[in-house]
Each structure stands twice: as structure tokens, then as C-alpha cells.
Structure 1
Amino acid sequence: MQRLIFLCFTLFTLQAQIINALVQDFCIADLSGPETPSGYTCKPSANATASDFVFTGLRVPGPKIALIKASVSPAFTAQFPGLNGQGVSLLRLDFDPKGVIPLHTHPGAAELLLVTQGFVVSGFISTANQVYVAKLQKGDSMVIPQGLLHFQINGGGNAAVAFASFSSEAPGLQITDFALFGNSLPSDILEKVTFLDDAQVKKLKAALGGTG
């Protein structure tokens, strides 16, 4: 019995040593290489500097997107290589009056939204088609479960700002409107799957850059 206990303890210790040997403090993304499902390869840790762990791109709004009257400023791995492998990221949203972030999903992450200026109406739709909507003011937060369709709208008459954090450094993004109307999916198919008439489909394709 003692020999069995000793053997088990020895195996456990060896396993722990192997696991610890494989653990790295960090993996700064080498953006010159390809992105894989498990992230980017690491640049040599000996070449790391403090600037690899600092991102200043959220100080000011990003370029305005006229169609949605808002700007979206990401701090994902592609913008902030130090996030690679850390399982976290950020996004800044700046809304003009009537600004909107249309229905979209992040397949790879849950989202935590924090309003820092103005009012934002935020909501998501569950897989049971239950709708959850709330009007958030400065200091309020809302969690968006992973992979669910959701949106944000400026809920007041003035500019609004919010920051979103994600449970992944690469949360992914698919905007429903562009997925349907911003590509080459034939109009006759779209009319069947969306129950829209030909004029509506063509109008949306024209607005969102679709063809066919």
C-alpha cells in the first residue's frame, strides 16, 4: 500500500513539473506570422518590453462609421499583441445622437458593457427568443452571454460612450445585417429566407454593399 501511495505521489509530482515547465508568463503575438485557431505564435520573450503590455489606442474615439453614426475602437490581439493568450480584450464605442451598433454576435466570448458617458440602450436575444433590454446610464454595466445576438443604441439626445470587455483576446464579430445583405447571396434566396420582398432586399443590398 505504501509503495502504491509513493508511486502515485511520484507520478503526480512529475506531472506537475511537466505542466509547470510548459507554462509561460506571456506570449506576445508575432503579428508577422499567421493567426491560427489557437492564436498567434510568440515573439521571443527576451525581446519583450513594457510597451508590449500597454495600449493607448482607446484614449480617443476611432474613425466614425457614417452608416451607424458611431465609432468602434477595438483592443484585440491584432491591435494589442500583449493580449495574445490572455483571454481578455477591450472595445470602445462612441455614439453620436441616434448612433447604433446593429445586431451582431461574438462567437468566441462573453461581453461586459460599461457605460461611461450618456445613456445606452443595450439588449440581447436568447436562443429561446427571449429579449432582454435595459437602458444604461453612466456607471451601469450589462453582461452579454457568449454567442448571443445583441445590440447597443444611443439612448439619449447627446453623445454616449461605452467600453466593452470580452472573455477572449479574439472574440470574433459577425454583424447580422452584413451577413445577410453585404455579400453575394442571391436576392431570390434572401427573399425566401427573410420574408422580404424584392425591392426591400435590393435596397438593403445597395446600402450594405451586397451584390446579386
Structure 2
Amino acid sequence: MAAAKFSIKTTSPFFLVLCLTVFLFFTLSCFADPDELQDFCVADLNATTILNWFPSKPVSEVTSNDFFYSGLVKEASTANPLGLGVRLGDVNNFPGLNTVGLSVNRADFAPGGVIPLHTHPRASEAVFIIKGEVLVGFITTTNVLYSKVLKAGEMFIVPKGLVHLISKERWTGEG
């Protein structure tokens, strides 16, 4: 039995519609807007269904307090083996951060305190020193160490996904 032949003429209306559909599909996907389509999305912390983000509160219920957070004012307790206390400024405590892609935390260190080696696969980290001194460093994917001792008022950025630490203890080495 001979195999059935299937062919589409490149001048046929079906082929033309198929090509236009594929072209239109790929063209429209390039016009997608990766940014938010609304001014803000204040988290509805009482929602029962949560997917990637908290659902938005109705705009009529949003107040200025949703964009304000004073939870970083008080020092956090450093009475633990790491000598580290952290106050979180994330969407659970600060609903205005929902969908912004940002969290702001306060870290307090006892002498010798440390935030051990860790990484944030999808986020960079900005370290700003309010008082005292800390050593901040990260290691690149080619095993190069970049570190600096920061003093009050100074800042250091850790690029997205790189292994890094913050320590109240000074080390010797290149910075």
C-alpha cells in the first residue's frame, strides 16, 4: 500500500492563513508589557487565595498607611548564636510592597555577629550602614571575592544571585 501524499501549495489560501496566524502570534507576543498594568497593588492580607502575589485590596480601601512602615525603627534582638537580629520589611508587614519586587530589612549585629553565606537567586541586595562598621562581600561565579568594610552612611550592592555575607568581624584580605 502506498503512503498517502499530503502537500500544501504555498499559494493556497490555507497556507497563507497559517503563515499569517503564526506571524501574528509571534509578533503580538513581543508586545507584551512586563510592567504592572496598574499604579499599585496593595496586598489584601486577609485574602484566602494567594498565588504568586497577594491579591490587591480594592482601591477604595487603600490608605496612605498602606505605603508607610515604621517596623524598622526599633533594634532587633541579637541574643542568638549568630549575633544577628533582623526586622523584616516585606509584604507581610508592609502591604504597599506587593508586586513592587522589593523588600527592606533591618539587620542589627552583636560584636562578631554574621549573616552567613547565602544567595538570593532572583534578587540583588543593597546594604546601607546606619551606624558602626561591617564587612560585606560577595563571590562571583568565577570565584573572585569583592569585599569592603563599610562605615555609617556607606552602601554596597550585591548583584543578583551571587553568594554573599555580612559580618561585624573584620577579616584580612583584599577588598
| Fold conserved between structures, TM > 0.5 | yes
Q: Secondary structure of 1:152's match? A: strand
- 1:110 partner letter: S
- 1:81 partner letter: P
Corresponding position of 1:40: 54
CA distance in 2, matches of 1:95, 1:120: 9
User: Higher helix share goes to which structure?
Assistant: 1
Which shifted more, 142-151 or 103-112? 103-112
Q: Which runs of 5+ in 2 are unaligned?
A: 1-32, 171-175
Q: Secondary structure of 1:90's match? A: coil
User: Higher strand share goes to which structure?
Assistant: 1
CA distance in 1, matches of 2:107, 2:128: 10
| Larger-Rg structure | 2
Q: 2:65 aligns with which of 51, 60, 69?
A: 51
Corresponding position of 1:140: 154
Q: Secondary structure of 2:126's match? A: strand
CA distance in 1, matches of 2:160, 2:50: 22
What count of residue pairs does the alignment treat as equivalent? 135
2:163 matched to 1:149? yes
TM-score, length-scaled by structure 1: 0.59
Runs of 4+ in 1 over 6 A off after TM superposition: none
Per the TM alignment, residue 139 of structure 1 is displaced from its structure 2 partner at its CA by 1.4
Per the TM alignment, residue 83 of structure 1 is displaced from its structure 2 partner at its CA by 0.7
CA distance in 2, matches of 1:86, 1:46: 20
Q: Which has the higher contact order (CA 8 A, sep 6+)?
A: 1
TM-score, length-scaled by structure 2: 0.71
Q: Secondary structure of 1:102's match? A: strand
CA distance in 2, matches of 1:145, 1:152: 14
- 2:71 partner letter: G
Per the TM alignment, residue 28 of structure 1 is displaced from its structure 2 partner at its CA by 0.7
Q: Pairwise CA RMSD of aligned residues? A: 1.8
Per the TM alignment, residue 65 of structure 1 is displaced from its structure 2 partner at its CA by 5.2
Identity of counterpart residues, as a percentage? 38
Corresponding position of 1:181: none
CA distance in 1, matches of 2:38, 2:140: 37
Q: Which runs of 5+ in 1 are unaligned?
A: 1-18, 157-212
